[in-house]
Every structure is written in C-alpha cells, then in structure tokens.
Amino acid sequence: MAILTDLKDPRIENITVTYVEVSPDMRRAKVHVSVMGDATKQQLCLYGLQSSAGFLQKKVSKRIDTRYTPRLHFELDMGVKKSIEVTRILNDVLPMASSEATAPDEEVTPEETTDHTPS
C-alpha cells in the first residue's frame, strides 16, 4: 500500500504488485510488478521504484519483526500483458471455430434432444 500512498515520484503510476518472492534467508525480495503503458513508461516506473527501494525497505522494516529486512528488487511482470495477448489471439481464432460448431451438417429432431433418463 505504501507504493500507492506514500511515494511521490511522478514516474511511479498505474502500477500493480502481482506477487513477491522472498529468499529462504529473508535477505532478498523480488517484487513483481505490472505497469500499464508502453515499454518506455514501464522502464521509467521500474527506475522510479528501484530509486525508492530504500524508502520502501524502511516501511517494510517497521511492519515486520525480523533480524534482517529484505532488500527489494523490482521486476516487470509480463504475465498480464501476455494474458491480454492470448485473449486477443483466442478471440481471433474462436469466432471461426464457434461458427463451424453452430452450423451442423444434419438437423437435430426434438426427440433427440429430450432427456430419456428414468425418473
């Protein structure tokens, strides 16, 4: 929540933290983020996050009670972008497949569509 509320860097906007990987010794944390926008905007946001990593580590250290505070490293999560691309591809392919499925070669009679299971 500190990313959204406490950071004043204008480069950091339209960001979502997708997941965080913490090393077993709790010394490193890889923060995966999704940034809306083009590649330039994404890189600027990553630079802004990396420059504010110390401030965010201090916030984390106040919230967790451990010997070490993990060093934050930010990475761009391409999962959201890839899922949007897969959805676009499926929408291009599926209308053709669904039109083939809805145009059967032979007609179905009402007797074939009724359920004949015993009650």
The answer to the question of residue 118 being in a domain is: no
106 has a pLDDT exceeding 60: no
Q: What is the pLDDT of residue 96?
A: 66
Residue numbers of the domain that contains 16: 2-89
Beta bridge partner(s), residue 73 = 30
Per-residue pLDDT tens over the stretch 45-101:
999 999 999 999 999 899 888 888 999 999 998 887 888 889 989 988 887 655 555
Q: Which two tokens stand for residue 72?
A: 């934050």
0.75 exceeded by pTM: no
The answer to the question of residue 48 being in a domain is: yes
Q: Within a 10 A sphere around the Cβ of 32, how many other Cβ atoms?
A: 16
Q: Give the dihedral of Cα atoms 98, 99, 100, 101; nearest 10 deg.
A: 50
Confidence of residue 14 (pLDDT cuts 50, 70, 90): confident
Q: How far apart are CA 119 and CA 111, in angstroms?
A: 17
How many domains, in total, are found in the chain? 1
Question: Furthest-apart CA pair in the chain: how many Å?
Answer: 73
